Structure 1
Amino acid sequence: MPKHYFDRLQNIDRLIRMKGTGTPKQLAERLNISESLLYEYLSFMKEQGAPIAYCKERRSYYYECQGGFNLRFINNSGEK
């Protein structure tokens, strides 16, 4: 999978955690992608368990519980 795919997911996650995504159109423009592609990213994140919702009053996506979307391998063994 291309690196830009993961970069976009991380950017979407960061903006959702900040509750600063804006409308779907604004978020797609910020990420320089189409709205339909944005919905594909959001769908993928939801399939992976991210509790994403949209607030019409704030005009932003948010997580329904505290947390974040992590796409990196975490080595818990202490080895490098």
Structure 2
Amino acid sequence: MKQIDFLEKRRQFIELAKKRATGTPKELATKFNIQERVLYRLLESLRTDGLEFRYCRTIRSYYIDE
């Protein structure tokens, strides 16, 4: 994945997580047109940069509390 694509997907994830609209990891990977393992690397990079987010099984979405 190109650096620009990677940064754009990070931005999109943050927007979706704020709305609690990411879907499951599998659904999110499909939305982003990437493999699940690439998605988990993207999420790990966000955590490494200090973003705090969680996954809720009830709403089936990642979320960020602001």
- Report the TM-score when normalising by structure 2: 0.92
Aligned mates of 2:45, 2:8 — CA distance in 1: 14
4+ residue segments displaced more than 4 Å: none
- 1:62-73 → structure 2 map (5 Å cutoff): 62-63=63-64, 65-66=65-66
* Aligned position for 2:56: 55
Is 1:25 matched with 2:47? no
Q: Which has the larger radius of gyration?
A: 1
- Report the TM-score when normalising by structure 1: 0.76
Aligned mates of 1:17, 1:25 — CA distance in 2: 19
Is 1:37 matched with 2:47? no
Deviation at 1:3, TM superposition (A): 1.1
Structure 2 residues without counterparts, runs of 5 or longer? none
Aligned residues: 65
Q: Percent of aligned pairs with the same residue?
A: 32
* Aligned position for 1:7: 8
Aligned mates of 2:47, 2:10 — CA distance in 1: 12
Counterpart of 1:61 in 2: which secondary structure? strand
Deviation at 1:45, TM superposition (A): 0.4
Structure 1 residues without counterparts, runs of 5 or longer? 67-80
Which protein has the bigger helix share? 2
Aligned mates of 1:23, 1:32 — CA distance in 2: 14
Structure 2: which amino acid aligns with 1:46? R
Q: CA RMSD in A?
A: 1.1
